[in-house]
Structure 1
Amino acid sequence: MNAIALGFDRARYETRVYFRQGDTILFTFLFPIIMLTIFSVAFSSAGNIGARPDGTGGVTPAAFYLPGMIAAGILLSGVQNLAVDIAVERGDGTLKRLAGTPLPVLSYFIGKLGQVFATSVLQVILLIVMAHFAFGVALPTRASAWLTFLWIYVFGMITSAVLGIALSRVPRSGKSATAVIIPIVLVLQFISGVYLQFSMLPVWLQNVASIFPLKWIAQGTRSVFLPSSFAVQEQGGDWNLGESRSSSASGSSSGWWPRS
């Protein structure tokens, strides 16, 4: 219980530090919001996406890109934020110093997870509020849709956090962490249906994207915020929510200090 309490204290500390870093706020917290604004404004004159031949139906660009930006925010918060942060702490000796303190390993990871969940929840709320009030995006009215979004979000954040912890071992130093992690995250966004309509990608690239959690997070989020008619554009012509849950739940947390 003491380790858990220390973990929550650590989470508050990590969150304060997060919001003191301007570059981190720009590239992980505000980036999806900025991208949603750009896509919504840039394609506003092109008409609705998925409209019928007579021009009726479909959704606005803001409504179409909202699920992808939410999924991208989950990836940035869990993968990019944690991978870069832990790699930097390993490189500058922070992890070595923490390992010599009474702070339990569990408290350290609770602090990291608490920070990414707190900042990600705020980010998602801002995205949804801005999309609804600034761009007129209609939100789901059924409680079941929001419950679906809740479990997709929770599983997506856990999976992204585990992947971020694993990727923190890839950079050889803290100085190279950003240069190594950001390209990986950008490639995943482009092949997972965040910026491009997933059905536009070649089948082999769709299969590659299916290996990674972002594809399933984005697909599950689209099932909540887009009309059911858009399901035909997914692999197999269905939302495949059962597979999304299985893919997200496949990650497992680690109970070790990241090696310094």
Structure 2
Amino acid sequence: MTALTIRLGLLRSGLELRQFFRGRESVIFSFALPILLLVVFGSVFGGQDLAPGVTLTQYFVAGMIAAAQLTNGFQTLAIQIPIERDRGVLKRLAGAPMPAASYFIGKVVMVYLIGIAGCVVMLAIATAFFHVDLPTTGQKWWTFAWVSLLGIAACTLCGIAFSSIPRESKRAPAVVTPVALVLQFISGVFFVFTDLPGWMQQIGALFPLKWMAQGMRSVFLPGSYAANEPAGTWELGRVAVMLVAWVVIGLVLCLLTFRWTTKEDR
């Protein structure tokens, strides 16, 4: 990858950000909705204790940060790219002098920047209004960083790959949104993971969001709560392995499935 490709990709990311925040639907459902859910759940369950020294809000914040990363990476791109494909944007870009890699760099940078902005807003609200404690050690912040880095990468690549499934852009939200919601329900975002049925836990463990949420819990919850996890520990090594595996799987799926044009244009 040349320096020109990277520079064009970074320039492209600026355009992607402007397009994202100009779209009412993307701002509401990808950026604002996780923040709104945090406010709602925090207001309803803010005073309830899940375990000694652990409030339900503290647990929920960890899951909602992971869910926001899934939404920004997977859901945004799996809906946005089919729209660009139907409008002929991808077809024009495929025939333009700009390297194809620059297009994907623009998307990835956009997702990361939106993810950072959303996370900052969520943490600010959680600490200011719901008394959520931020990590106090460098090790926990490092865990937060690498879980976010790998998790967003996995969700972004899966979103790009999944964008080839909707046959028409107008059907994309109806196809993508239920998938994202089901993953959140079976991955310990809205409920305590160990309270879910065993078969649901096993299915959730196949996908990256469960491991992203578990990694985030290790950051925001005290070490003593790890005993309540399915394995009795945070399993951070396994979290890393699973997220790296999904990055590889997502990349392979992108290479195999991504289409620049609709079937009618072929």
Structure 1 position 62, deviation (Å):
2.2
Structure 2: distance between partners of 1:207 and 1:195 = 17
Q: Work out whether residues 94 and 260 of structure 2, in 8 Å CA contact, stay in contact via their aligned partners in 1.
A: no
Structure 2: distance between partners of 1:130 and 1:44 = 13
Structure 2: distance between partners of 1:89 and 1:190 = 29
Structure 1: distance between partners of 2:105 and 2:255 = 11
1:122 partner amino acid: A
Structure 1 position 255, deviation (Å):
5.8
Q: Work out whether residues 32 and 69 of structure 1, in 8 Å CA contact, stay in contact via their aligned partners in 2.
A: yes
- Tell me the TM-score normalised to structure 2 length: 0.92
Select 2:93's aligned residue among 72, 75, 98: 98
Question: What residue in structure 2 maps to residue 29 of structure 1?
Answer: 31
Structure 1: distance between partners of 2:219 and 2:121 = 17
Structure 1 position 102, deviation (Å):
1.0
In structure 1, the residue corresponding to 2:132 is in which secondary structure? Answer: coil
Question: What residue in structure 1 maps to residue 78 of structure 2?
Answer: 83
1:63 equivalenced with 2:62 (yes/no): no
The C-alpha deviation readout for 1:170-213, integer Å capped at 9, x for no partner, is 11111100110000000000000000110011111111111100
Structure 1 window deviating more from structure 2 (249-258 vs 63-72): it is 249-258
| Gap runs ≥5 in structure 2 | 262-266
- Tell me the TM-score normalised to structure 1 length: 0.94
1:238 partner amino acid: T
Select 1:175's aligned residue among 161, 170, 186: 170
Structure 2: distance between partners of 1:151 and 1:255 = 24
Structure 2: distance between partners of 1:238 and 1:182 = 32
1:19 equivalenced with 2:21 (yes/no): yes
Select 2:146's aligned residue among 148, 151, 159: 151
Over the matched positions of the two proteins, sequence identity in percent amounts to: 41
Question: What residue in structure 2 maps to residue 49 of structure 1?
Answer: 50
In terms of fraction of residues, the more helix-rich structure is: 2
Question: What residue in structure 1 maps to residue 129 of structure 2?
Answer: 134
In structure 2, the residue corresponding to 1:49 is in which secondary structure? Answer: strand
Q: Work out whether residues 198 and 233 of structure 1, in 8 Å CA contact, stay in contact via their aligned partners in 2.
A: no
Structure 2: distance between partners of 1:44 and 1:217 = 23
| Gap runs ≥5 in structure 1 | 51-56
Q: Work out whether residues 105 and 255 of structure 1, in 8 Å CA contact, stay in contact via their aligned partners in 2.
A: no
Question: What residue in structure 2 maps to residue 258 of structure 1?
Answer: 259
Structure 1 position 230, deviation (Å):
1.9
Structure 1: distance between partners of 2:44 and 2:131 = 16
Structure 1 position 259, deviation (Å):
3.3
1:7 equivalenced with 2:9 (yes/no): yes
Structure 2: distance between partners of 1:74 and 1:100 = 32
Structure 1 window deviating more from structure 2 (232-241 vs 31-40): it is 232-241
Q: Work out whether residues 46 and 130 of structure 2, in 8 Å CA contact, stay in contact via their aligned partners in 1.
A: no
Structure 1 window deviating more from structure 2 (11-20 vs 129-138): it is 129-138
Question: What residue in structure 1 maps to residue 264 of structure 2?
Answer: none
Question: What residue in structure 2 maps to residue 54 of structure 1?
Answer: none
